[in-house]
């Protein structure tokens, strides 16, 4: 498993741009001190360097050095955070997760678990399973459901009780609150094959070209 490089945030990018246009913090401090000593050695005895001006120069140098160190620490923290998420998510490999999706695979007549998620309560929720030709083979009238996730299972049989052939099926959700349509989300299970870090965060490879964000996981088996 290979984790891609973490994309920097705007703040970290700005810090990198500043670093590329200036010398390193250590070199800058050495040059500043040399210039300051030279300035003190060659100042006009009748018009010495003002204490306030000297203090101001030292404060400016300290501020620049502090900002560079802060940016370096911030970039390190971002890198550690991303790596930590990938390592923690690696424990999901080999497990099944419940994520948004409407594809059901019927194999050897075994029951197929799935779920429905509602962003708000609904007065009427109906779920249908269709075959590859788009024909409805099974219907579930769930009635009223509250907001949240409702886990379900399809036994692989039609509405008439006939065992259906193995293959790919699709689950659809129709939910209403009064006369208003509620966007119901079908959730299906998939096995995690690998985990990677990208620009949009941790991604789970579910096989067959299917991917899901870590934030989309509703349940882990």
pLDDT of residue 53: 64
Give SS3 for 139: strand
Residue 198's Cβ-side half-sphere holds a number of Cα atoms within 13 Å equal to 10
**Residue among 155, 154, 148, 157 at smallest CA distance from 125:** 148
Q: How far apart are CA 12 and CA 23, in angstroms?
A: 17
Residue 7 φ/ψ, nearest 5 degrees: -80, 130
pLDDT in tens, 40-74: 677 666 666 565 665 666 666 566 666 666 566 54
Contact 86, 202 (CB under 8 A): yes
Q: What is the pTM of this model?
A: 0.60
Least confident of 1-5, 28-32, 73-77, 149-153: 1-5
Is the pLDDT at 15 greater than 80, yes or no? no
């Amino acid at each position: 498993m290979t984790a891609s490089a973490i994309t920097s945030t705007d703040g970290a990018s700005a810090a990198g741009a500043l670093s590329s246009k200036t010398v390193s913090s250590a070199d800058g401090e050495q040059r500043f001190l040399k210039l300051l000593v030279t300035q003190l050695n060659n100042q006009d005895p009748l018009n010495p360097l003002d204490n306030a001006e000297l203090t101001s120069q030292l404060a400016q140098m300290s501020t620049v050095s502090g900002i560079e160190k802060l940016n370096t620490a911030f970039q390190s923290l971002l890198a550690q955070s991303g790596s930590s998420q990938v390592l923690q998510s690696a424990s999901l490999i080999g497990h099944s997760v419940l994520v948004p999706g409407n594809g059901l695979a019927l194999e050897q007549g075994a029951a197929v678990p799935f779920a429905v998620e509602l962003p708000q309560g609904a007065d009427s929720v109906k779920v249908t399973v269709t075959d590859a030709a788009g024909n409805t083979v099974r219907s579930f009238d769930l009635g009223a459901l509250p907001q949240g996730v409702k886990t379900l299972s399809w036994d692989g049989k039609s509405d008439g009780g006939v065992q259906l052939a193995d293959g790919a099926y699709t689950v659809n959700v129709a939910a209403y609150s009064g006369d208003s349509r509620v966007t119901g989300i079908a959730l299906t299970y998939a096995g995690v094959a690998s985990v990677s870090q990208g620009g949009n965060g941790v991604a789970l490879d579910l096989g067959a070209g299917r991917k899901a964000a870590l934030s989309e996981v509703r349940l882990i088996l």
